[in-house]
Amino acid sequence: MDKTAARLGADATPTAPALLLRPWSQADAAELVELYRDEAMRRWTNSAVNDAAGAAQWIQDQQRGWETGRRFGFAIVESQPGGSEGQLAGHVVLKGVTPGASSAEVGYWTAAHARGRGVAPRALQALTDWAFTVFSRDGLTRLELLHQVDNTASCRVAQKSRYELATLLPAAPPAYPLAGHVHVRPRDL
């Protein structure tokens, strides 16, 4: 599988459309600014996109990750009938990919309109399958998912995606003011 042109999919559910996961493009900038107006998302993410310039920079950072082969960020887009793209529903990322390293990290966020519809678990499962397929030859055997202890929604997503709680991280202010959870998913699950 070509990791530089990856397009992943997740099946529809009875209450939500199928998902397409694809690399971010500058055409997503205006919609990204709108998604970042959500206070809940701003609370749980460590990046701020306040305007068109900030969105362009954030997207450029995602693209640079693909170019370096160390960070693979995907826009999560709802699929429409006929295969066309609908609105952005979130972001999922594989990061810290290093040849010969046995572990890497995953992360995600969802747009306000997409929460509670299984977007994050379905996108995370598609990313997990892709990561283990593409990078197992490079030694990847374990994925880690980190979140603050008070982010109960992320805990539920981790559990639904078969990422088991492995350890508690101590707080490290100011960047990480609260303790965190580390969830782990081994390749052979």
pLDDT in tens, 67-113: 999 899 999 999 877 777 889 999 999 999 998 889 999 999 999 99
Given this model, what pLDDT does residue 63 score? Answer: 95
Structure tokens at 5: 């042109």
Distance of alpha carbon 86 from its chain centroid, rounded?
18
Kindly tell me if the per-residue pLDDT of 2 is higher than 60: no
Report the range of poorest mean pLDDT among 21-30, 43-52, 115-124.
43-52
- What ranges in the chain are assigned the alpha helix state H? 29-35, 39-44, 52-68, 119-135, 152-160
Please provide residue 159's backbone torsions phi and psi, each rounded to the nearest 5 degrees: -65, -45
User: What's the pTM?
Assistant: 0.90
Residue carrying structure tokens 């068109």: 52
Q: What is the rounded average pLDDT for all residues in the chain? A: 90
Surface-to-core class of residue 177, CB atoms within 10 Å of its CB (0-12 exposed, 13-18 middle, 19+ buried): exposed
Given this model, what pLDDT does residue 4 score? Answer: 54
Instruction: Decide: 18 and 133 in contact? Cβ < 8 Å.
Output: no
Kindly tell me if the per-residue pLDDT of 131 is higher than 80: yes
Kindly tell me if the per-residue pLDDT of 32 is higher than 50: yes
